[in-house]
Each structure stands twice: as structure tokens, then as C-alpha cells.
């Protein structure tokens, strides 16, 4: 499963492609299931509906609809036809024509209870009404009109609940919604107070609609949507730091999908925070056991979850300073060496305890990244993170080869070059360290890829080119290769880098559309043309 599951949620996912859905052609048809009017009032209502549907004259349509409402309402109230499924069926169709979706839902639900064999027919009319309202929500969403989009999706979901996307989009809107600050201005979600009542309510709404999406995805063709929706319930609470709700949500998800490595890794991270170390380590072990059957993105996501759960290294400098103050206060005549001799053992003991706790976790992170890179050897972020983790656990032999692989993917980036220089430093090669530091300092521009997303139809990449120097940069061209899982070039695009003023930046975006016969893109690399 892709890690790109949800819009705007701590970088975990991106939006599904919002596209309008198509309705079936609208022609008047009687009930396609075995129900008959069976009563004069119901038959009269049906005839009025048919006339309203087929007439070309607005005044005639209004009259026919009014007559249909009158006689069908009379049938189910005073006409003793409340047990007649046809009465409710045609009353529901009247409400659909009148665009009263809540009333239509109620009437059609009663018809279905009385005539279960009409499920497919009623479902077709529900979906026919759902399509234009859903599409209005998509258009509002694409236009940045969040409130209108939410209102349309809510209205669409009133009448038709057999497909998940209406619930998925509204959940994503709640996740990524901007809120006004105290001055009435818009503020980024990441900066919005996560402990506020508004934020908490918004996350509850998102989780609610993801659950509804999972329930709506009962058909086998929506298996992926169901899986992602259940996962996102847990992710919503996780991102909001509501761990007591996130843990049972992950457990519910893993009960349905026990082999999902990202779910296991995320839950393990929460167990670590809750000081349930044994449970966390057992889950991390299961992640690595499943590596052969997991995708590269799943393993990278799991490694990232593991990495984020490892506690930061203690600040021994602060500990030494505090210890020195106490020692000098007790014995003002102590020399700096004597103070150091007294304080160093405590700091060293703290670091030993930290490494005893953290190093096994870092080793598991490294194994997860290694397993992912075996399936996608060109993932820039995975190479960068594994090089850093290898340095932390003292695997100095791995740092330079990883940094060199990173350099082959992302050569015009100072962080990349710092990794290469660090790898040579571990080898004791001062000349090579100086060489790569000089390369970093003399880069014509710096290239930073900020996001990379893939779909079955292609890939898109966002980045930024920056002139960090004190004089204007010269123009150049960069060639981006988009790679498949075997490292083959699927597509190549050239990006022009214009002259940039000192300390100026410019964003760029590349998009690749694939032909049906082409393999999927999984990674990128670039070089100067």
C-alpha cells in the first residue's frame, strides 16, 4: 500500500485525483423491481411523476409535481398505504425530482425495508441523484471553496452511501482545512493550535468520515479505499497527538490487515511513547519479518515511524554545566580538571544508558531502510536517512558508499555533499573531505526537491533552485530522470535554471504522464545537462 494516503497530514499522503463521476442517462422508467402501485392514489402519483418528467413545459411540470406530492403523501398518511412499498418508492422519486435529498432518503429507505428486492433499482436512483451533487463538491474543492465543498459532499452523502469517495473527500477537507485566527486571517494548519477545541472537533469529524468511507467501501472493488480509510482513522488521531484514541484505531486496523508494516511501525512508536518497550520492539521485529512481502514505500514509511519514535540524545553539555555549578558551590577551590573528573562519569553513564536504549532501535531502522532500498535503490530520502543512521550506530564502513549513492541521485545539494565529506572524514581522508566541501561551496545553484508523488498514470516533482552565493548565478539546464523499480529510465525532463539574483530562489514543478505499457515511476535522479 502506498504511504500517500491522506491529504495534508504531516506529509504522510496526498489527495486522490478528484474527478467528476458520470451519471446514467435519465429517462422515465417505472419500478424495475416487482412492485406495483396497487392503489388508485399511488397509481395517480406515479402518472403525475411520469408526466412531470417528460413534459417540456415548466408550468405543467410544476403542476404535475404538486399533484404527485399531494396524492402520494395522502396515500401514506390517510390513504392506509403506509405498508405499500410502491407508495414510498414513488414518493422517494418525487423528492428526488424536487431535489429534497433528505426526504428522498427517508422515503426510499422505507420502500427498501418493505421491498428488499428493489435494492438495486433504488440504488440506481440514489446514485443518479448523488452524481451532480458530488461533482459540485469536487468543483468547489478544486476551486478552494472548502465550506461549499463540505456542504455539497454532506448533501451528496445523504442520498447515497454505497461508494466511499464522497466520505473520503470530506474527511480530507476536514484534515487540511484552514481556520481563521483571532484577527480573522487565515493561518496554516500546521501553525494552528493543535489543542484547541476547533482543531479537536475537526479531527473528530475527519475520523468520523473516514470510518463512514470504510463502511461504504464494502464492495470488493473498493478494497484499497476501505484499507486506506481505516488506516487514516488512526493517522488522524496520531497526528493530533491523541494517542489514547490512536492506539485502539491502529489495533482495529491491524486486526483487519495484520501484515501492514506501516501500521505496525506507527503503533510501535506509540507503544514506545507509552513506555511499553517490549510491545514496541515485538512490533518492530514483525515489521522486519514482513520485509519481503512489503513494498519499498511501506518499508520507508515504517523506518520513518521507527526513527521518529527514538528519543533525542541527552544534552550532556547542559548536564556538565549544571554539575559544575553544584560542584563549585560546594567546593569553590576545585580546579576545572577536578570539576571535570567529578562530572564526567555521570554524563558518560547517561550516554551509556541512552545508547543501550536507542542503538537497537537505530539498528532496526537501518534494517528497514536497507530492505526498502533493496526494492527501490534510488530513493533520495532513504539513502540520506540511512547514511545518517549508519553514522549514529557506528557503522562507519557503510556511510561513504551510501553517501556516494546519494550523490549520484542528488548532486547539487549541500546536504548531500556534507554526507559525502563526512563519509571521507570517517575514512581519515582529509584531502577528499576538503575536495567535497569545496564542491559544496562552489555549486552554481542548489537544487532541493521538496515533494515527489506517484500515481498509476505518472509522477510529479516539486522543487526549488536557490542561488546562495553573493553574486548572480549563470543560467544552466538540469536533466531529471524518472526511474522504475529496476532503475530503468522511464522518462526524462529538462528543467531550465534561469539567472538568479544573489540569495534568490525559484520554485519549479515537473510532471510525467505515462503510457499504458510503461512501468510505474518509483524514484528520480538528476544531473547537469
For cell 510525467, the residue is 512
Question: At residue 378, what are phi and psi to the nearest 5 degrees?
Answer: -110, 15
Residue 6 has a pLDDT of: 42
Q: How many CB atoms lie within 10 A of CB 100?
A: 17
> Which residue would you say has higher pLDDT here, 479 or 350?
479
Mean pLDDT calculated for residue range 5-25: 43
Nearest-angstrom CA–CA distance, 130 and 201: 27
Whole-number Cα distances in Å, 327 to 55, 309, 319, 321, 335: 97, 35, 12, 10, 10
Whole-number Cα distances in Å, 334 to 231, 323, 328: 59, 13, 7
Nearest-angstrom CA–CA distance, 350 and 160: 59
By C-alpha distance, which of 21, 335, 357 is closest to 162? 21
CB 246 within 8 A of CB 234: yes
> Which residue would you say has higher pLDDT here, 23 or 198?
198
Q: Say yes or no to pLDDT of 17 above 80.
A: no
Residue 22 has a pLDDT of: 54
Q: Please report how the helices 380-392 and 414-426 are oriented relative to each other, as an axis angle in degrees rounded to 10.
A: 30
Residue 73 has a pLDDT of: 96
Residue 187 has a pLDDT of: 47
Out of 3.40.50.1100, 3.40.50.720, 2.60.40.10, 3.40.50.410, the CATH code matching 445-528 is 2.60.40.10
pLDDT band at 274 (very low <50, low <70, confident <90, very high): confident
Q: Say yes or no to pLDDT of 388 above 60.
A: yes
Give the mean pLDDT of the chain.
88
- Beta bridge partner(s), residue 510: 461
Mean pLDDT calculated for residue range 242-258: 95
Global pTM exceeds 0.85:
no
pLDDT band at 236 (very low <50, low <70, confident <90, very high): very high
Find out if CATH 1.10.3470 is the number for domain 40-166. no
Which grid coordinates belong to 479?
Answer: 536533466
Q: What percent of the chain has a predicted confidence (pLDDT) above 90?
A: 62
Mean pLDDT calculated for residue range 198-214: 91
For cell 546519494, the residue is 406
Residue 178 has a pLDDT of: 56
> Which residue would you say has higher pLDDT here, 198 or 244?
244
DSSP track, 179-248: EE-TTS-EE-GGGS-TTSHHHHHHHHHHHHHHHHHHHH--SGGGHHHHHHHHHHHHHHHHHTT-HHHHHH
Mean pLDDT calculated for residue range 420-436: 95
Q: What is the pLDDT of residues 170-195, one digit of tens each?
A: 999 998 875 444 334 444 544 444 44
Q: What percent of the chain has a predicted confidence (pLDDT) above 70?
A: 91
pLDDT band at 21 (very low <50, low <70, confident <90, very high): low
Which grid coordinates belong to 97?
Answer: 425530482
Asked if the domains at 40-166 and 445-528 fall in one CATH topology, the answer is no
By C-alpha distance, which of 39, 102, 24 is closest to 71? 39
Q: Say yes or no to pLDDT of 1 above 80.
A: no
Domain segments of the chain as ranges: 40-166, 445-528
Q: Say yes or no to pLDDT of 67 above 50.
A: yes
CB 252 within 8 A of CB 246: no
CB 398 within 8 A of CB 419: no
Q: Please report how the helices 119-142 and 101-114 are oriented relative to each other, as an axis angle in degrees rounded to 10.
A: 160
Mean pLDDT calculated for residue range 108-135: 94
pLDDT band at 516 (very low <50, low <70, confident <90, very high): confident
Q: Who contacts 524 (Cβ-Cβ below 8 Å, separation ≥6)?
A: 378, 380, 409, 449, 452, 459, 461, 480, 481, 482, 483
Mean pLDDT calculated for residue range 245-261: 94
Nearest-angstrom CA–CA distance, 164 and 169: 9
Residue 26 has a pLDDT of: 60
For the chain, how long is the longest CA-to-CA vector? Answer: 110
Residue 529 has a pLDDT of: 87
Q: How many CB atoms lie within 10 A of CB 441?
A: 11
Amino acid at each position: 500500500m502506498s504511504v500517500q494516503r491522506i491529504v495534508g497530514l504531516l506529509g504522510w499522503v496526498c489527495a486522490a485525483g478528484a474527478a467528476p463521476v458520470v451519471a446514467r442517462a435519465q429517462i422515465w422508467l417505472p419500478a424495475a423491481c416487482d412492485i406495483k402501485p396497487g392503489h388508485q392514489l399511488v397509481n395517480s402519483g406515479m402518472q403525475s411523476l411520469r408526466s412531470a418528467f417528460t413534459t417540456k413545459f415548466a408550468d405543467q411540470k410544476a403542476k404535475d409535481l404538486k399533484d404527485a406530492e399531494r396524492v402520494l403523501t395522502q396515500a401514506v398518511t390517510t390513504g392506509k398505504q403506509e405498508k405499500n412499498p410502491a407508495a414510498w418508492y414513488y414518493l422517494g422519486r418525487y423528492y428526488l425530482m424536487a431535489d429534497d435529498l433528505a426526504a428522498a432518503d427517508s422515503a426510499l429507505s422505507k420502500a427498501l425495508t418493505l421491498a428488499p428486492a428493489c435494492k438495486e433499482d433504488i440504488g440506481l436512483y440514489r446514485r443518479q441523484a448523488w452524481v451532480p451533487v458530488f461533482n459540485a463538491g469536487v468543483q468547489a474543492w478544486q476551486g478552494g471553496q472548502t465550506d461549499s465543498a463540505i456542504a455539497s459532499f454532506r448533501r451528496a452523502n445523504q442520498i447515497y452511501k454505497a461508494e466511499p469517495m464522497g466520505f473520503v473527500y470530506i474527511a480530507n477537507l476536514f484534515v487540511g482545512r484552514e481556520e481563521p485566527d483571532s484577527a480573522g486571517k487565515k493561518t496554516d494548519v500546521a501553525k494552528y493550535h493543535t489543542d484547541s477545541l476547533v482543531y479537536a472537533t475537526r479531527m473528530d469529524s475527519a475520523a468520523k468520515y473516514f470510518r463512514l468511507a470504510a463502511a461504504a467501501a464494502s464492495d470488493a472493488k473498493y478494497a484499497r479505499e476501505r484499507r486506506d480509510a481505516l488506516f487514516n482513522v488512526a493517522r488522524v488521531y496520531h497526528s493530533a497527538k491523541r494517542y489514547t484514541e490512536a492506539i485502539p484505531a491502529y489495533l482495529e486496523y491491524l486486526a483487519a490487515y495484520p501484515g501492514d508494516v506501516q501500521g505496525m511501525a506507527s503503533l510501535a512508536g506509540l507503544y514506545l511513547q507509552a513506555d511499553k518497550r517490549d510491545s514496541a520492539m515485538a512490533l518492530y521485529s514483525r515489521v522486519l519479518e514482513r520485509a519481503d512481502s512489503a513494498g519499498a514505500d511501506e518499508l520507508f514509511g515504517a523506518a520513518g515511524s521507527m526513527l521518529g519514535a527514538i528519543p533525542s540524545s541527552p544534552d550532556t553539555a547542559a548536564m556538565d554545566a549544571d554539575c559544575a555549578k553544584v560542584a563549585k558551590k560546594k567546593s569553590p577551590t576545585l580546579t576545572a580538571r577536578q570539576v571535570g573528573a567529578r562530572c564526567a562519569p555521570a554524563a558518560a553513564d547517561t550516554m551509556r544508558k541512552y545508547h543501550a536504549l536507542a542503538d537497537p532501535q537505530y539498528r532496526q531502522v537501518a534494517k528497514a531502510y536497507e530492505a526498502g532500498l533493496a526494492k527501490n535503490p534510488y530513493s533520495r530520502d532513504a539513502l540520506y536517512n540511512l547514511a545518517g543512521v549508519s553514522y549514529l550506530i557506528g557503522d562507519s564502513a557503510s556511510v561513504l558508499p551510501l553517501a556516494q549513492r546519494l550523490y549520484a541521485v542528488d548532486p547539487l545539494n549541500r546536504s548531500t555533499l556534507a554526507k559525502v565529506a563526512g563519509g571521507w572524514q570517517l575514512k581519515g581522508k582529509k584531502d577528499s573531505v576538503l575536495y567535497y566541501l569545496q564542491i559544496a561551496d562552489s555549486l552554481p545553484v542548489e537544487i532541493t526537491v521538496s515533494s515527489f508523488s506517484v500515481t498509476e498514470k505518472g509522477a510529479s516533482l516539486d522543487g526549488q533552485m536557490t542561488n546562495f552565493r553573493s553574486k548572480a548565478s549563470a543560467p544552466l539546464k538540469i536533466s531529471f530522470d524518472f526511474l522504475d523499480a529496476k532503475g530503468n529510465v522511464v522518462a526524462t525532463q529538462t528543467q531550465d535554471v534561469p539567472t538568479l539574483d544573489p540569495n534568490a530562489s525559484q520554485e519549479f514543478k515537473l510532471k510525467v504522464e505515462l503510457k499504458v505499457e510503461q512501468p510505474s515511476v518509483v524514484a528520480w535522479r538528476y544531473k547537469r545537462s
